[in-house]
Amino acid sequence: MVNYNGSLVALNTIPISQVKRALSYGDGLFETMRMREGKVLFIEDHYFRLMASMRILRMTIPMEFTPEFLVVECEKLALHFGYTNARLRFQVVRNGMGKYTPVQSNGVHWWVEIEPLGEADYTLRDDLTVDLFKDHPLQAGLLTTVKSTNALPYILSGIFATENNLDAVLLINDQKMVVEANYGNLFLLQGSNLITPPLEDGALRGVFRKNMLVWAKELGLDIEEKSISPFDLQKADELWITNTIKGVQAIKTYRKKTFSSIKAAEAVALINRKLEVLSKL
């Protein structure tokens, strides 16, 4: 079951004609959100990114789209299944016919999908083995900040990781700078400096990334947004992959270099404490 335009229906009953543009051209976008003990986390951050992304894609934004609307529609589906800790995906697709250029477009359709999560808290995984994915460099620009349904670089990099027995891969841009991982933002810890690639390099405008830039100061870390080269990875003390669903994950091995995860563990503990307080508000 999904929540399609406000009604709970089976996913396979969504009319193909209403989502044809997404199927044919990847003309859609989505937000992946985490529910913790019945509360949707970072809702304002997700809402504002959704609004910005829809404007970039020149989609008509329904008047009812508000942060409260997103929460209500997500909670409706969670209540149906009885989930309190869950992964939510809010999908928006452009309505209308046409080929590359849409015609007769009269708005958007949307739906919410849900998957249960076993625990409320984030759990640190600190044994990731990664390498670079160089087959298809990202082209930095506004579109790389959008979580669109046109996700071929992430699909192909995920296949590459599986074929090479890797837990994740790191993507580069056309300037050969490291941008992000195939499923999250990248952070590099060197001494007391926590470094992440700037959005201008092609990094996704991650919701967890945005909050990590604030939380890091409470860990005694100095934040830098600057380009990271493959050589810089070898000089790091720790390497993290972050996203809203998995929190902070620590890379253990990159090629012949092994990294620690001491600060990553501190970060996860801090974030869980903050979210525990947030869930009670």
For residues 162 and 166, what is the distance between their CA atoms, to the nearest angstrom?
Answer: 6
Q: What's the CA dihedral at 112, 213, 147, 82 to 10 degrees? A: -10
Domain boundaries along the sequence of the chain:
2-116, 125-279
Q: Is the pLDDT of residue 34 over 70?
A: yes
Domain 125-279 adopts which CATH fold? D-amino Acid Aminotransferase; Chain A, domain 2 (3.20.10)
For 140-178, what is each residue's pLDDT tens digit?
A: 998 888 999 999 999 999 999 999 999 999 999 999 999
pLDDT (mean) for 61-76: 97
Question: Residue 278 — pLDDT band, cuts 50, 70, 90?
Answer: confident
Closest-CA residue to 30 (of 68, 87, 96): 87
For residues 280 and 164, what is the distance between their CA atoms, to the nearest angstrom?
Answer: 43
Q: Is the pLDDT of residue 231 over 70?
A: yes
Question: Residue 277 — pLDDT band, cuts 50, 70, 90?
Answer: confident
Domains 2-116 and 125-279 share a fold: no
Average pLDDT score, the chain: 95
Question: Which pLDDT belongs to residue 243?
Answer: 97
Domain 2-116 adopts which CATH fold? D-amino Acid Aminotransferase; Chain A, domain 1 (3.30.470)
pLDDT (mean) for 60-82: 97
For residues 163 and 157, what is the distance between their CA atoms, to the nearest angstrom?
Answer: 10
For 53-65, what is each residue's pLDDT tens digit?
A: 999 999 999 999 9
Question: Residue 96 — pLDDT band, cuts 50, 70, 90?
Answer: confident
Question: Residue 281 — pLDDT band, cuts 50, 70, 90?
Answer: low
Contact 155, 281 (CB under 8 A): no
For 246-259, what is each residue's pLDDT tens digit?
A: 999 999 999 999 99
For residues 217 and 257, what is the distance between their CA atoms, to the nearest angstrom?
Answer: 27
pLDDT (mean) for 195-217: 96
Predicted TM-score (pTM) above 0.85? yes
